[in-house]
Structure 1
Amino acid sequence: MEKFVDIYQRACERKGSELALQALLSDVLSPSEIAAIPADRFLACFTETVFQSGFVWSVVRNKWPGFEAAFFGFEPKKMVLLNEQHIERLCQDERIVRARQKIVTVPQNAQMILDIEKEHGSFGQFIADWPVDYITGLWLHLKQHGSRLGGNIAAYSLRKLGIDTFILTKDVESYLRHHQWLDAGLTSKKGLKQCQSAFNEFQQQSQLPMTHISQIIAYSVGDNRVGMA
C-alpha cells in the first residue's frame, strides 16, 4: 500500500508547494484547550451543522446571529426547558431557518450534553479525554445519544471546533477504497473500523494530527489540483 510520504508529496504538488499545502491545514486544539470549550459552544456547533446538512451552508451562516439570539446563546440548561409552545414560536421565527425537525434537535442534544456532564464533569473534558485512535467511537456515541448527529455531522462539528478528527468526504472515501483500506459500507461498524485502522497507520507513519492527514489525503486526490499544468 502507498506510504503517507507519497500522499503528502502528491498533495504538495497538487497545491503548488509544501508551503501552500500547509496554509490549507486547519488548526488543531490541545486537550486542555478542548476541555475549556464551554458546553454552549458544543451545542451551537452541533446545531449549526445539523441545519447546514442538506441545506445551503451560507444561508445558515448568514443567519447565525439570529440563531444565537433565538436560542439564547445555546445554554444547555435553558435549551432543555424548551416546550411545545417555544418550539412552535421558533418554527415561525424569521431569524432562523424554520425547519421543525431540526429545531427539535436543540433540546435533545442539550439533554445529551447535560447527561454526559453529570458523569464526566464537563462535556469539553469528555471530548478531550476521548482517544483519537478511536475517534469513530466518539462519532457513534454522539449519534447514539444525540439527535441527527449521524453521517458526517459529528465529525464536521468536531472539526469546526478544532478537535482532531478525520472526515470521510467523498475524496477520502475514494482514496481508501482505491487503495484497499475500505471494502465495507462507509458507516457500517466494519467500515468505520477499517477507516480508523487506515488513519491510525498513517498517523504512526507521519506523527501528524488526524485532521491534517484527512485534509492531505483529500488534497492528494480528486479535482482539486493547483499549481500543476
Structure 2
Amino acid sequence: MALEKFSEIYLRAATRKGSNSALEQRLAHPKSVEELKSITDDRWLAVMSQKIFQSGMNWQVVRNKWPGFEDVFWGFDIEKMCLTPPEMWEQKATNPAIIRHLGKVMTIPHNALMIQRAAREHGSFAAFIADWPESDIIGLWAYLKKHGSRLGGNTGPYSLRLMGKDTFILSNDVESYLRAHKIIDGGRDTRKSLLAAQNAFNQWQEESGRPLCQISQIIAYSVGDNSY
C-alpha cells in the first residue's frame, strides 16, 4: 500500500488544530548535534531515570518529587553511581525523599554503567547519542533496550525526545495511524514493524524536510481524539 503523502497528513492536522500556525506552535524542535554534545552525561542519566519512574505513574507526581531524587542520587554523577555499593542502593530505595521502588532505583547504576561504557568509547555519552543517524533511530532504541535497564517500549524514545535528540514516538495515535494504513500489522515492537515504521518516517522526512519529531506529532494530530 502506497504511503499517504505527507502534505495530506499535514493539511488534515492543521485543519483539526484550526490553522497552519496553530499547528506549528505545537511542534517540537530537536537540538543540533553541537547542542546535544554539550549536555553532560549526568543529565542523560537523570532524564532516563525520570522517564523510568514516570512509567505507570502520574508524570507530575514524579516531577514534584524530582528535587529529592537529585539530592539522594548526588545529581546523578556517573562515577559516583558506578561506585556505589549494592547495600547503599537498597538503603536509598527506602528514602522518603524519592518514590520508593527498589526495582526502578536499581536501574540507575545499571544505566550509569551503560553511559560510562559508551562515554569511554565515544568521548561522552552525549557524543554517542548526537552522532547516531536519525535514519536508523530504531537502532538507537534497540541499543538502549539491550544495554540499558527498563528503556524498552517508549521509555527510551521519550527520554531521547526530552533531551532533544530527533526521534519519532510510537504513541497510541501514531501506532493507530500506521496500522490503519497497513504500514505495520504485527506486534508494535517487532523488528519487522519497527523497520517498516522507520522506512515510512524516512520517506516522509525526505518529502517534507521536517525532523522526525515533528512528523510524528503531525501524524498524531491528524488522527485520534485530539481535535480542538
Shorter-chain TM band: over 0.9
CA distance in 2, matches of 1:2, 1:147: 36
How far residue 92 of structure 1 moved from its aligned partner, in angstroms, is 1.5
RMSD of aligned residue pairs (Cα, Å) = 0.8
Match of 1:204 in 2: 206
Query: 1:183, CA displacement in angstroms?
Result: 1.6
Partner of 1:110: 112
Partner Cα distance (2:194, 2:215) in 1: 16
Aligned length: 226
Pairwise CA distance, 1:223: 0.4
1:208 CA displacement: 0.1
For residues 96-152 of structure 1, give each alpha carbon's deviation from its aligned partner in whole angstroms, at most 9, with x where no partner exists: 100000000000000000000111111111001100000000000011001110000
Aligned mate of 1:98, from 81, 97, 100: 100
Q: 1:225 aligns with which of 219, 224, 227?
A: 227
Please state how far the C-alpha of 1:87 moved relative to its aligned partner.
1.3
Shift of 1:91: 1.8
Return the TM-score normalized by structure 2.
Answer: 0.97
Gaps of 5+ in 2: none
1:144 aligned partner, one-letter code: K
Aligned equivalents of 1:74, 1:22: Cα separation in 2: 35
Q: Counterpart of 2:39?
A: 37
Structure 1 partner of 2:123: 121
In structure 2, what is the equivalent of residue 86 of structure 1? 88
Aligned sequence identity (%):
52
- What do residues 13-44 of structure 1 show as CA deviations (whole Å, max 9, x unaligned)? 11111111111111210011111110000000
Runs (4+) of structure 1 exceeding 3 A deviation are none
> How much does 1:186 deviate?
0.7
Distance (whole Å) between structure 1 residues aligned to residue 9 and residue 150 of structure 2: 33
Structure 1: stretches of 5+ with no match in the other structure = none
- Of 149, 153, 156, 1:154 maps to 156
Does the residue aligned with 1:61 lie in a helix, a strand or coil? Answer: helix
1:40-96 deviation digits (Å, cap 9, x = unpaired): 000000000000001111110000111110110001111112222211221221111
For residue 12 of structure 1, what is the amino acid of its counterpart?
A: A
Which residue identity is paired with 1:18? N
